[in-house]
Structures are given as structure tokens and as C-alpha cells.
Amino acid sequence: MSSTEKFDQAVETVNGTYHSLELRGVYTWKHAIYFMNLSKEIKDVVLYNGMLLEVEDFDDFFEAIVQYLKHQRNATVIFIRCPYLTEAFDPQFKEFVDNRTTFTVMFIDGITIVYHQSNL
């Protein structure tokens, strides 16, 4: 069974309230968004290397992140640790999030950080 199949199974079984989310292994960006929205108490998210995200899906991923940030009242920070993302990802993502939310995007040592200034 592939890792994405394991995440497909987890979608069917994971539930409850949690405050932190860390995803590792091979998973789709849709898995990440699903688990980010599963609990309304999530404060911090870490998406580790392994997230499958193609250039043609950038806009859909960006929109899903914006919707998450707008509706997740406890959200404080998202770390995206996927160094294989193209150079086009960072500026497009920053512009999309900065212009449509009250969150800020910055980049440190290959990590994309989305944070709400008042919460840090």
C-alpha cells in the first residue's frame, strides 16, 4: 500500500479535536487541507517534505489555505517544509496569502512560514 493510500485510510478514521497537526510521508495537498479543517481547535500546522503539490494545483492550494486561515479562528502558524517546491511557489504563495488574509508569509532556511503577527 502506498503512503497516499495510508492517508486515504486515515481520512476515513481520524476524528476528534486536536491543537497541532504534523504531516510526514507522502500525502497530497488535499489530504493536508482535509486534516487542517478536521478540528476547529488547530493552532499550528507543519507540512513536512512529501506533500504532493504540482504547479498546476498551486492556485487551488493557495485558495484552500486562504479559506482555512479565514475560517480557523485559532490558527496561529503554518510551517511548510517542502524544499522541492519550485521557485515560483514562494512569491506566488506570499502574494496570494498576504493580499487576502491578515496573515503574513515569510521564508527562513527553505521553510515557508505563515503566521498571524498578533498571535506570536
Q: Which three cell numbers stand for residue 117?
A: 503577527
pLDDT in the model for residue 15: 61
Lowest mean pLDDT among 6-10, 47-51, 73-77, 111-115: 6-10
Average pLDDT of span 34-51: 90
The answer for residues whose C-beta is within 8 angstroms of residue 15's C-beta and 6 or more apart is: 38
Of the candidates 81, 79, 119, the one whose C-alpha atom is nearest the C-alpha of residue 102 is: 119
Taking the whole predicted model, whether its pTM rises above 0.75 is answered as: yes
pLDDT in the model for residue 1: 37
Describe the crossing of helices 58-71 and 29-38 by its angle, rounded to 10 degrees: 10
Tell me the residue type at 55. Answer: V
Of the candidates 67, 64, 68, 61, the one whose C-alpha atom is nearest the C-alpha of residue 88 is: 61
Instruction: List strands edge to edge, sheet with 104-108.
Output: 20-23, 44-48, 77-81, 111-115, 104-108
- Residue 59 pairs in a beta bridge with none
The C-alpha atoms of residue 58 and residue 9 are separated, in whole angstroms, by 25
Beta-carbon count within 10 A of 95 CB? 12
Average pLDDT, rounded, for the chain: 85
